[in-house]
Structure 1
Amino acid sequence: MGDRWHVEVDRDVCIGSGLCVSAAPGGFRLDGARQSHPVAAETDASEAVLAAAEGCPVEAIAIRLIGGEQVFPPDE
């Protein structure tokens, strides 16, 4: 992929399912309140991180290219 991404989790939407941690264990962690956080706000583009975002049951994960373009969820 070669791009750099900015990853955010909307804590108001996150239900703490842990699916993101299962899909991308190096990309996400759950805190004591079972809320997801990206391990790093900026990361190399990753199929695992994208799969985690796509698999989030409440679409709480947003990914943007560093510099602005939306990666997930796709602009409609």
Structure 2
Amino acid sequence: MSSPEDRARTRAEPLPEEAAAETGDEDREAGAAAILAESEQRLAQAADADAPADAADEHRTTPETSR
């Protein structure tokens, strides 16, 4: 299994349309690492059954709230 750093490095490769729009001052690897860390945190929360159910409960409509 690859490490988070390896996965971030491969995700830091720009798509052709992204490469065409780059200005040269972007830190793609740092951005990819941040996105990967956030995704892994969300997956961990989902595995712990904290976030998805809580969010569903927060946004579920009831007869009282749908008026």
TM-score by length of 1: 0.20
- The structure number with the bigger radius of gyration is 2
Bigger proportion of residues as strand: 1
Which one scores higher on RCO, CA 8 angstroms, separation ≥ 6?
Answer: 1
Bigger proportion of residues as helix: 2
